């Protein structure tokens, strides 16, 4: 009978593992029902109940919904009601009260089977979720604290499904905002809860863009660190912590604070990590140039900034024709895409270039 029920449910399905699990569950249900006839034993003693708990857990481990197994058990209930009614009719004509009692008994029995199966499914999901949470906390802790071997970090990342880490954005959040952020970013972020705040590490991508973060973190009390490669997360977290201390009264408390807006201030306060990141960002447009061209452009830019854009003063210092200066500045404007017209960008460029000779 168990085989017939399985075949009726899985007609056209060639998954032998599923069919085997269903056949085992239906068979155990039918056998136990037969054993119960004429006794006062509980429907599912501990040993029998564990069989169905294990079946539900197996569905969760196989990443399958329990619906098919539960369908099989309910189908078995209909078969049991039909077969037992037929058997009773062969002995004597059943009264309507007998059929109602039989139906109630089978329904109650199957409800216990379903409850045991669902319990197993739920318990397994909780266990898996707990293991996933543990792995995610482990990766977050490795990245925030630093110093873990690269192979250990990559293995921890792979353990949560991150085939690549690339760059991440650290975000400081009040403890009460952690669950919301974890739910929103799901598999794209890991979090480490600390005594006074939480560090959310969000993988670089569209959700981590400034535009998106300004919208999604509004009113969350967030401090957004700079985007860095995973090995420099501890530095980025420290810069975010220092940025939180720099927040002025003029900042809207509902808006997230971005560490990238305060890199120059942190650099002037002696934070070498801030200076290094600021240098990388401001000099990134020059990275693809040949060395001689790059040095010529940087020399011209430095002079132009120090002389407040005076073409004559730059020409005198570099000992070139003023038209040569104009030509180079046009090239710099194309390369820097409007930064020469931005006061903050000019200040940061001047700060970075002033330190180049010493370095």
- What pLDDT is attached to residue 127? 76
- Give buried/exposed letters for 111-127 (b at 16+ CB in 10 A, else e): ebbbebbbebbeebeee
Per-residue pLDDT reduced to its tens digit, 190-228: 999 998 999 999 999 999 999 999 999 999 999 999 999
Comparing 11-15, 85-89, 108-112, the range with the smallest average pLDDT is 11-15
* 201 close to 168: Cβ distance less than 8 angstroms: yes
- Arithmetic mean of pLDDT over the chain: 85
User: What separation in angstroms does the CA of 165 have from each of 143, 156, 169?
Assistant: 11, 10, 11
- What pLDDT is attached to residue 12? 44
pLDDT band of 118, cuts 50, 70, 90: confident
The residue among 249 and 49 whose pLDDT is bigger is 49
Beta strand ranges found along 81-185 (DSSP E): 167-173
pLDDT band of 17, cuts 50, 70, 90: low
For 203, the enclosing helix (H) or strand (E) is strand 198-203
- Residue 116, SS3 per DSSP: helix
CA atoms of 282 and 273, how far apart (whole Å): 14
Phi, psi of 85 (to 5 degrees): -65, -40
CA atoms of 240 and 172, how far apart (whole Å): 7
pTM of the model: 0.67
Which of 4-13, 47-56, 90-99, 173-182 shows the highest mean pLDDT?
173-182
**What whole-number percentage of the chain has pLDDT above 90?**
51
The residue among 253 and 120 whose pLDDT is bigger is 120
- What pLDDT is attached to residue 250? 54
pLDDT band of 40, cuts 50, 70, 90: confident
- What pLDDT is attached to residue 42? 79
For residue 223, the cross-strand partners are 172, 257
Neighbours of 287 (CB within 10 A): 8
Q: Nearest Cα to 233, choosing from 273, 194, 289? A: 273
Comparing 90-99, 117-126, 137-146, 349-358, the range with the smallest average pLDDT is 90-99
Task: Round the CA-based radius of gyration of the chain to a whole number and report it.
Answer: 34
- What pLDDT is attached to residue 77? 78
64 pLDDT exceeds 80?
no
- What pLDDT is attached to residue 268? 93
- Give buried/exposed letters for 200-235 (b at 16+ CB in 10 A, else e): bbbbbeebbeeeebeeebeebbbbbbbbbebebbbb
Antiparallel, parallel or unpaired: β 223-224 and 189-193 = unpaired
pLDDT band of 86, cuts 50, 70, 90: confident
Per-residue pLDDT reduced to its tens digit, 225-253: 999 999 999 999 999 999 998 875 556 66
- What pLDDT is attached to residue 9? 44
The CATH superfamily assigned to 288-354 is PucR C-terminal helix-turn-helix domain (1.10.10.2840)
- What pLDDT is attached to residue 3? 47
What integer is the mean pLDDT of 61-78?
Answer: 77
255 pLDDT exceeds 90?
no
Which of 66-75, 115-124, 256-265 shows the highest mean pLDDT?
256-265
CA atoms of 219 and 252, how far apart (whole Å): 9
121 pLDDT exceeds 90?
no
Domain edges within the chain: 2-130, 166-281, 288-354
- What pLDDT is attached to residue 273? 94
């Amino acid at each position: 009978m168990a085989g017939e029920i399985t075949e009726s449910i899985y007609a056209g399905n060639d998954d032998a593992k599923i069919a085997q699990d269903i056949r085992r569950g239906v068979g155990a249900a039918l056998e136990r029902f037969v054993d119960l006839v004429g006794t006062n034993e509980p429907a599912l003693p501990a040993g029998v109940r564990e069989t169905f708990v294990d079946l539900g857990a197996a569905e969760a481990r196989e990443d399958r919904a329990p619906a098919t197994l539960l369908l099989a058990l309910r189908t078995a209930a209909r078969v049991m009601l039909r077969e037992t009614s037929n058997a009773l009719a062969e002995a004597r004509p059943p009264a309507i009260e007998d059929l109602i009692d039989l139906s109630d008994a089978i329904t109650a029995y199957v409800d216990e089977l379903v409850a045991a199966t669902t319990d197993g499914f739920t318990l397994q999901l909780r266990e898996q979720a707990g293991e996933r949470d543990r792995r995610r906390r482990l990766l977050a802790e490795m990245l925030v604290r630093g110093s873990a071997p690269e192979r250990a970090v990559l293995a921890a990342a792979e353990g949560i499904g991150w085939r690549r880490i690339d760059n991440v954005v650290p975000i400081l959040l009040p403890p009460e905002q952690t669950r919301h952020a974890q739910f929103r970013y799901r598999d794209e972020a890991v979090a480490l809860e600390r005594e006074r705040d939480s560090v959310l590490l969000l993988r670089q991508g569209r959700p981590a863009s400034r535009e998106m973060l300004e919208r999604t973190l509004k009113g969350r009390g967030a401090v957004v660190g700079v985007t860095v490669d995973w090995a420099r997360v501890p530095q980025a977290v420290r810069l975010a912590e220092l940025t939180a201390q720099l927040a002025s009264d003029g900042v809207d408390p509902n808006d997230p604070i971005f560490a990238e807006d305060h890199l120059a201030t942190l650099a002037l306060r002696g934070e070498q990590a801030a200076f290094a990141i600021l240098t990388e960002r401001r000099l990134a447009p020059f990275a693809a140039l040949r060395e001689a061209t790059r040095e010529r452009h940087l020399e011209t830019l430095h002079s132009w900034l120090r002389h407040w854009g005076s073409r004559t003063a730059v020409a005198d210092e570099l000992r070139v024709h003023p038209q040569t200066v104009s030509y180079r500045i046009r090239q710099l404007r194309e390369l820097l895409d409007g930064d020469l017209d931005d006061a903050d960008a000019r200040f940061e460029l001047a700060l970075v270039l002033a330190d180049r000779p010493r370095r």
